[in-house]
Structures are given as C-alpha cells and as structure tokens.
Structure 1
Amino acid sequence: MAHRLAGKVAIITGGGRGIGAGITQRFAEEGAKVAIVQRSPPPNTMLNEHIIYVKADLSSSQEIASAVQMVAERLSGLDILVNNAGIMFEKTVDEMTEADWDQMMDINLKAPFLLTKAAMPHLRNRPGASIVNIGSIEGLASNPGHPAYSASKAGIHGFTAAVAVDHGHEGIRCNAIAPGWINSDLSEVYIDSMPDSARVRRELMAMHPVGRLGEPRDVGNLAVWLASEESAFVTGHVYVIDGGRTKKLPLPVA
C-alpha cells in the first residue's frame, strides 16, 4: 500500500506529546518528513531520519518565523502545517486576569495565525498544500471554567474557514479537527487526582457511544486524511472526533 504522505514535509507544533505525538507518529508512518516545533525538546526516542526537532517559543513572532524558515531550508520546502500546540487552564471570567486571557490567546490563537502567515510563501510553491488546525469540541460548547479556552478554540474554527476561503485559489486547503476526550499523560493525571477516580472513569466511558475514550492515533488518522490528496475537495470544515460524545443527550443518573 502506497504511503499517503510520501515526499511531503510537515510542521507539527507541539508534536512531541499527547495528540501532537499521535499526529507525528502517523505522519511519519505515511512517509512524511516531520519537524516538531515546540519550546521543549521531545523524547529522543521520537527523533529519527523522518522526524526532527526545531526549538521555538510559540509566544514569539520572531522565533515562529525563524523556525518555519529553518524547517523549509533543512527539509527542502513545506507542504503541511499542523497547528496543534495549545494550553488550557480553568478559570471563570471573575477569576481570570487580563494576563491570563492574553496568554491563552497568544498561544492558542495568535501563534497559529503567525505560523500560517510564515508558512504561506512555502505552501504556495507546493501542489496539494494543506493546513490542519487543532480546535476542540469546546469551540462548539464548553466545560465549566473555560471561557478563554472555548473562545480561543472557537476562534480557531472561524480562522480555519477564513483561510480556506482566502487561499483556496492558491491550492492551499485549510481544515480543523475538534477532538473530544483524548487519552494522554495529562488526562491520566487529572483522572487519578479525583477522589473517586474509578467512578470518574466509568462515567467518562458512559459519555461515549463508541464505548471507549479517544487515543492520539485517532486524531492522527484524521489528520493524515486531511493532509493527503484523498481529501483534495475538502476545505474550510471542522471535523469533530469525539466518539459520539457531543451527539449523546445526557440523562439523569440514578
């Protein structure tokens, strides 16, 4: 079976852990050369002839621009940009400072804009260029204490549509993935910190019609499709990947 991303060069921000690592792994398996762009180095075990690491503080416009340029030079161009890196904290509007709000927007919304802007000259030169933004089901609804996070992810969804409209004529597609609950180191720590973690796990499972929680590879599989020629007529859309969670209406638990 042919590799769907053979010969493609991809940047994946935050590609060294969690959802990002799942996307990185699947892209490499499908033949892409991947540059993980983030502030901290990924595990050495992730790096090989297909995957490199480029350090960048995504709150710095200068470091973003130089990182994109460095990737294009080292890997001879750029075909795919995956805006995955993001932060999350739980604070209501009352609890949140202006600095909190600005930090969330800088990393979750401004960095993808700056990365997209820096990538555009390179993407224009490649046939089948694709941008994949990682939004969230919280860009469509919200958990308690997430006004800044939900706003940033709704912004990503709107940004995705606008980029698709503006740059489709240049052969550049732009889509977003809105994951639900995806297992990760952080989610495991969160569950284990609960007083009754076993009950939390049972209730989480019950929220998902497919009967399991998501894995980073689930998101990676969808990202491969959106980055490949198989989705050549797809642009401007947000793909929810949540095991049916947002389609299941809640009922009171006895």
Structure 2
Amino acid sequence: MSPEFEDLVAIVTGGASGIGAAVARELTDRGARVAALDLEPGGAPQGVLGIKADVSEDDSVRAAVQEVADAYGRIDVLVNNAGIGAQGTVEDNPDDQWHRVFDVNVMGAVRVTRAALPYLRRSPAAAIVNVASVAATTGIPQRALYSTTKGAVQSLSMAMAADHLREGIRVNCVNPGTADTPWVQRLLDSAPDPAAERAALDARQPHGRLVSAEEVALAVVYLAGPSSGSTAGTALAVDGGMATLRLRPPGETRK
C-alpha cells in the first residue's frame, strides 16, 4: 500500500516547534514532502524543508510560498498553525497587543491561504486545516484576546469551507485543548508554583492531563488526508472533553 500522502506537498506554518513540528513529522512519515514556514526554521524536523517566514508580513509569506512551489512544483495541503498567545481579561491588553495577536493568529492564516490558493486549486487532493483552540468555544479565564482570535479562526474556517469546497479545496479546523507545547511550558515556568499550575491545567481537562502535540497532529493529518474526502467545514476538538463534558470530581459518589 502506498503512503497516503505520497506525491503530495504540504506547508505547515509554525512547523519548527510544538504542534507544528509534530504535524510536519506525521505528514513526512506518511509520504508527503513538507515545508515548515517558521520564524526560526532551524528546528524543523528531519526531512522537512525549513523556510524562514513571518506570517505577519505579506511579502515574506508570498516569497516563502513561492519557494515551496519552486522546490516541489505543487502545493496540496496547507496547515495554518502559526500563532502567538496572550493572557489577561478584556481590559488588560493594550490596543497594539490586540492588533499584534490578530495580525499573527488570524491575518497570518489569511495571508498564507491567499498565497497558496492558486496552487491548491490545481491539486487533486487539496486541503486546508486551520489550528484554532478549545478557547474558541469555551470560556477560559484570563484569555480574552487569545480566545477572540481563535474564535475568529474557527469562523474563518467555516467561511473558507463554504467558499472553496466547489473548487475542490476542503477546509476544516482543529481545536486543541491545553497542549504540552513550548508556549505552555513557558507559562508554567513563569508561574509562582509551576507544579501546582501544571496540576491545575491537567485537572481542567476531563481526561486528567495535557493534550500531546502528537495527538493534535494525528487529528490535523486525518483532516488533511485524501481519506477524509467527505469531511469539510468541521471543527474537530482534541481536548480530552474539555469543551463538552462535565464530569463529577474524582472520588465523588453518584447520587
């Protein structure tokens, strides 16, 4: 049996670390030729073409996408994963930070998609997967700005799915829960009691632990692959049930 992604070319933004790197590895293992667009592409997994790109700059994005097309002759899959975080309530972040996080998390996906669409339209197996977050659908304290941008990514995904399905381009998104990534580790390291904060994050998800980057990658790759050809306009939660389940506290007896 041939690998599912054999002969297909994929772009993964933010593909040199965390979830993006896990996605790039999984796609490569399944036969894709993968380019990781990243501010620091040196961390791209083995066998992945690392390209320096800033998703907040249109010229940088267009040059990077053109480099992928020149190197491989086609683009079939786009994973819009690049993003930055923010903490605070609606009154804590100044305007320039709101603009910056929107520029990366939302407009970054817009810019890369816009540059890749001419190539995706020529693909026999075109797919776009946007990485949103459980914060798009669930109220999480101290995440007003971040949640707003991820809600926009999910809405953008649905609109793109409607716009491009009849062009042969499937669009979906994945909503990870709190994942074990470098960004979350930095949050833990800055907490007054990192161990207690880690325990609280674990407990917040019904299955009792952080989501792994590999688990998110498997969901992304499923949505990006030819075998999910009838899946479009879907938001797939990979959050241990955080968005939908309300379990009793451990040890509490049923009444």
Under a length normalisation based on structure 1, what TM-score does the superposition of the two structures give? 0.92
Give 1:238's aligned residue.
Answer: 235
Aligned to 1:82: 79
Q: Report Cα offsets for 1:102-148 as digits up to 9, x if no partner.
A: 10110000110111111110000011100000000111123222222
Distance 1:161 1:231 in 2: 17
| Residue 92 of structure 1, CA deviation | 2.5
Note if 1:213 corresponds to 2:227.
Answer: no
Pick aligned residue for 1:198 from 195, 198, 223? 195
Q: Tell me which of 140, 162, 187 is aligned to 1:165.
A: 162
Where does residue 145 of structure 2 map in the other structure?
148
Structure 1 CA distance for aligned equivalents of residues 93 and 203 of structure 2: 32
Residue 250 of structure 1 deviates from its aligned partner by 6.8
Q: Which residue, out of 62, 68, 77, partners 1:65?
A: 62
Letter in 1 for 2:166: H
Contact 1:47/1:53 (<8 A) preserved:
no
**Residue in structure 1 matched with residue 46 of structure 2 by the alignment:** 47
Structure 1 gaps of 5+ residues are none
Is 92-101 or 233-242 further displaced after alignment?
92-101
Is contact 2:176–2:239 with CA below 8 Å preserved after alignment?
Answer: yes
Residue 4 of structure 2 aligns with an amino acid whose one-letter code is R
What is the aligned partner in structure 1 of residue 245 from structure 2?
Answer: 248
Q: Secondary structure at the match of 2:187?
A: helix
Aligned-pair CA distance for 1:58: 1.3
Aligned equivalent of 2:27 = 27
Deviation of 1:13 (Å): 0.4
Alpha-carbon displacement from aligned partner over 1:86-112 (angstroms, at most 9, x marks no partner): 001113332222111110110000110
Of stretches 97-106 and 198-207 in structure 1, the one that deviates more from structure 2 is 198-207
Between 191-200 and 211-220, the greater mean CA deviation after superposition: 191-200
1:151: Cα distance to partner? 1.2
Aligned amino acid, residue 188 of structure 2: I
Q: 2:114 aligns with which of 90, 112, 117?
A: 117
**Alpha-carbon shift at residue 252 of structure 1 (Å):** 7.5
- 2:134–2:242 CA contact under 8 A, matched in 1: no
Residue by residue, what CA displacement relative to the aligned partner does 1:202-231 show, whole Å, maximum 9, x if unpaired?
A: 343333333432111101111111111111
Aligned AA (1:27): L
Determine if contact 2:206/2:247 at 8 Å carries over to the other structure.
no
Q: Distance in 2 between matches of 1:102 and 1:54?
A: 25
> Is the partner of 2:78 in helix, strand or coil?
strand
Residues 166-209 of structure 1, C-alpha deviations (whole Å, 9 max, x = no match): 11111000000000011123323433443443333334333333
2:175 to 178, 189, 214: 178
The one-character-per-residue Cα deviations of 1:62-109 (angstroms, maximum 9, x if unpaired) are 111111111111111100000000001113332222111110110000
TM, length-normalised to structure 2? 0.91
Q: Secondary structure at the match of 2:151?
A: helix
Deviates more, 1:151-160 or 1:91-100: 91-100
Letter matched to residue 52 of structure 2: K
Q: What's the offset of the Cα at 1:251? A: 6.1
| Cα 1:248/1:199, change in 2 over 3 Å | farther
Deviation at residue 8 of structure 1 after TM alignment: 0.9
Residues 83 and 142 of structure 1: is their aligned pair in 2 closer, same or farther, counting only changes over 3 Å? same
Contact 1:90 1:146 in 2 (8 A): yes
Classify the secondary structure of the residue corresponding to 2:127.
Answer: strand
Higher relative contact order, chain-length normalized (CA < 8 Å, sep 6+)? 1
CA RMSD, 1 decimal: 2.0
Structure 1 pair 26/147, CA: closer, same or farther in 2 (3 Å)?
Answer: same
Provide structure 2 residue ranges, at least 5 long, that are not aligned to the other structure: none
Tell me, yes or no, if the aligned pair for 1:79 and 1:128 is still in contact at 8 Å.
Answer: yes
